[in-house]
Protein backbone atom coordinates (compact mmCIF):
# COMPACT_ATOMS: atom_id res chain seq x y z
CA UNK A 1 0.00 0.00 0.00
CA UNK A 2 2.78 2.45 0.91
CA UNK A 3 4.72 1.49 -2.26
CA UNK A 4 1.64 2.10 -4.43
CA UNK A 5 1.10 5.57 -2.88
CA UNK A 6 4.77 6.41 -3.32
CA UNK A 7 4.67 5.29 -6.96
CA UNK A 8 1.54 7.39 -7.64
CA UNK A 9 3.12 10.36 -5.86
CA UNK A 10 6.32 10.00 -7.91
CA UNK A 11 4.31 9.72 -11.14
CA UNK A 12 2.25 12.80 -10.20
CA UNK A 13 5.36 14.79 -9.30
CA UNK A 14 7.02 13.78 -12.58
CA UNK A 15 3.93 14.90 -14.52
CA UNK A 16 3.85 18.26 -12.73
CA UNK A 17 7.55 18.78 -13.43
CA UNK A 18 7.07 17.90 -17.12
CA UNK A 19 4.10 20.25 -17.53
CA UNK A 20 5.97 22.99 -15.68
CA UNK A 21 9.01 22.62 -17.90
CA UNK A 22 6.83 22.72 -21.01
CA UNK A 23 5.16 25.91 -19.79
CA UNK A 24 8.51 27.52 -19.11
CA UNK A 25 9.82 26.35 -22.50
CA UNK A 26 6.67 27.73 -24.12
CA UNK A 27 7.78 31.22 -23.15
CA UNK A 28 11.19 30.72 -24.72
CA UNK A 29 11.98 31.21 -28.37
CA UNK A 30 10.05 29.20 -30.93
CA UNK A 31 11.06 28.00 -34.37
CA UNK A 32 8.24 29.77 -36.25
CA UNK A 33 10.37 31.02 -39.14
CA UNK A 34 11.88 27.63 -40.08
CA UNK A 35 9.08 27.02 -42.61
CA UNK A 36 9.60 30.38 -44.31
CA UNK A 37 10.98 30.24 -47.87
CA UNK A 38 14.26 31.74 -49.03
CA UNK A 39 13.66 35.33 -50.14
CA UNK A 40 15.83 37.55 -52.29
CA UNK A 41 15.67 40.52 -54.64
CA UNK A 42 12.49 40.30 -56.71
CA UNK A 43 10.54 38.22 -54.17
CA UNK A 44 7.14 39.58 -53.17
CA UNK A 45 4.14 38.84 -50.99
CA UNK A 46 3.27 38.14 -47.38
CA UNK A 47 6.54 36.47 -46.46
CA UNK A 48 8.42 39.57 -47.61
CA UNK A 49 6.08 41.79 -45.54
CA UNK A 50 6.81 39.59 -42.52
CA UNK A 51 10.55 39.89 -43.16
CA UNK A 52 10.25 43.66 -43.52
CA UNK A 53 8.26 43.89 -40.26
CA UNK A 54 10.94 41.84 -38.47
CA UNK A 55 13.64 44.09 -39.88
CA UNK A 56 11.77 47.16 -38.58
CA UNK A 57 11.58 45.37 -35.22
CA UNK A 58 15.34 44.78 -35.45
CA UNK A 59 16.04 48.52 -35.64
CA UNK A 60 16.39 48.69 -39.45
CA UNK A 61 13.27 50.73 -40.33
CA UNK A 62 15.11 53.50 -42.14
CA UNK A 63 17.03 51.00 -44.27
CA UNK A 64 13.98 48.88 -45.17
CA UNK A 65 11.67 51.75 -46.06
CA UNK A 66 7.99 50.92 -46.44
CA UNK A 67 6.55 47.52 -45.62
CA UNK A 68 5.17 46.88 -49.09
CA UNK A 69 5.85 43.17 -49.67
CA UNK A 70 8.44 43.90 -52.38
CA UNK A 71 12.01 42.72 -51.85
CA UNK A 72 13.84 45.71 -53.27
CA UNK A 73 17.21 47.31 -52.62
CA UNK A 74 16.21 48.70 -49.20
CA UNK A 75 15.11 45.29 -47.95
CA UNK A 76 18.26 43.68 -49.39
CA UNK A 77 20.49 46.24 -47.67
CA UNK A 78 18.60 45.78 -44.38
CA UNK A 79 18.97 41.99 -44.62
CA UNK A 80 22.72 42.41 -45.17
CA UNK A 81 22.93 44.65 -42.08
CA UNK A 82 20.92 42.17 -40.03
CA UNK A 83 23.10 39.28 -41.21
CA UNK A 84 26.32 41.17 -40.48
CA UNK A 85 25.10 42.10 -36.97
CA UNK A 86 24.11 38.45 -36.38
CA UNK A 87 27.52 37.12 -37.46
CA UNK A 88 26.12 35.56 -40.64
CA UNK A 89 27.39 35.79 -44.21
CA UNK A 90 25.99 39.12 -45.40
CA UNK A 91 24.67 38.12 -48.84
CA UNK A 92 21.30 39.92 -48.68
CA UNK A 93 19.37 36.66 -49.13
CA UNK A 94 16.94 35.74 -46.34
CA UNK A 95 17.52 32.01 -46.27
CA UNK A 96 17.51 29.29 -43.60
CA UNK A 97 20.41 30.76 -41.56
CA UNK A 98 18.77 34.21 -41.45
CA UNK A 99 15.37 32.81 -40.45
CA UNK A 100 17.00 30.59 -37.81
CA UNK A 101 18.76 33.62 -36.39
CA UNK A 102 15.44 35.50 -36.23
CA UNK A 103 13.92 32.63 -34.25
CA UNK A 104 16.21 33.64 -31.34
CA UNK A 105 14.02 36.71 -30.82
CA UNK A 106 10.66 34.94 -30.83
CA UNK A 107 8.69 34.76 -27.60
CA UNK A 108 5.65 32.48 -27.29
CA UNK A 109 2.84 34.30 -25.48
CA UNK A 110 -0.03 31.87 -26.05
CA UNK A 111 -1.44 29.26 -28.36
CA UNK A 112 -0.36 30.32 -31.89
CA UNK A 113 0.66 33.77 -30.61
CA UNK A 114 4.23 34.99 -30.76
CA UNK A 115 6.21 38.21 -30.54
CA UNK A 116 9.35 38.95 -32.50
CA UNK A 117 11.23 41.16 -30.02
CA UNK A 118 14.73 42.16 -31.05
CA UNK A 119 16.90 44.25 -28.74
CA UNK A 120 17.98 46.33 -31.76
CA UNK A 121 14.71 48.25 -31.68
CA UNK A 122 13.35 50.14 -28.72
CA UNK A 123 10.37 51.24 -30.82
CA UNK A 124 8.82 48.28 -32.68
CA UNK A 125 7.93 44.62 -32.20
CA UNK A 126 6.07 42.21 -34.47
CA UNK A 127 3.15 40.16 -33.15
CA UNK A 128 2.20 36.92 -34.97
CA UNK A 129 -1.03 35.00 -34.62
CA UNK A 130 -3.28 32.50 -36.34
CA UNK A 131 -6.83 33.64 -37.13
CA UNK A 132 -9.77 31.79 -38.74
CA UNK A 133 -10.65 32.96 -42.26
CA UNK A 134 -13.75 30.89 -43.10
CA UNK A 135 -11.94 28.26 -45.19
CA UNK A 136 -9.04 27.67 -42.79
CA UNK A 137 -6.64 30.01 -41.06
CA UNK A 138 -4.44 33.00 -41.80
CA UNK A 139 -0.99 33.42 -40.28
CA UNK A 140 -0.97 37.17 -39.61
CA UNK A 141 1.48 39.78 -38.35
CA UNK A 142 0.99 43.12 -36.63
CA UNK A 143 3.89 45.54 -36.49
CA UNK A 144 3.35 47.38 -33.20
CA UNK A 145 4.85 50.11 -31.10
CA UNK A 146 6.39 48.54 -28.00
CA UNK A 147 5.24 51.41 -25.81
CA UNK A 148 1.47 51.27 -26.40
CA UNK A 149 0.85 48.27 -28.75
CA UNK A 150 -0.55 50.61 -31.43
CA UNK A 151 -0.60 48.69 -34.73
CA UNK A 152 1.46 50.39 -37.44
CA UNK A 153 0.95 47.74 -40.13
CA UNK A 154 -0.89 44.44 -40.32
CA UNK A 155 -1.04 41.75 -42.95
CA UNK A 156 -1.38 38.10 -43.88
CA UNK A 157 1.82 36.11 -44.24
CA UNK A 158 0.08 33.00 -45.62
CA UNK A 159 -3.19 31.08 -45.42
CA UNK A 160 -3.63 27.41 -44.62
pLDDT tens digits, one per residue of 12-59: 333 333 333 333 334 456 789 999 999 999 999 999 999 999 999 999
Whether pTM > 0.85 for this model: the answer is no
Does residue 82 surpass a pLDDT of 80?
A: yes
Residue 76's H or E segment, with its range, is: helix 73-85
Per-domain residue ranges of the chain: 1-29, 31-159
Residue 13's H or E segment, with its range, is: helix 2-26
* Residue of 8 and 76 predicted with greater confidence: 76
The pLDDT of residue 139 is 97
The pLDDT of residue 29 is 60
Please provide the CATH number assigned to the domain covering 31-159: 1.10.101.10
Task: Provide the mean pLDDT of the chain.
Answer: 86
Closest C-alpha among 24, 44, 73, 53 to residue 126: 53
Phi and psi for 127 in degrees, rounded to 5?
Answer: -105, 130
Amino acid sequence: MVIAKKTRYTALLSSVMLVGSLLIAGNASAEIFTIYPTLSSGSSGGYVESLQANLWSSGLKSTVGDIDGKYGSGTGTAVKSYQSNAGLTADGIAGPATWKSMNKYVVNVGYDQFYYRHSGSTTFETFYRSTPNGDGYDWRYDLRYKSNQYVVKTGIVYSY
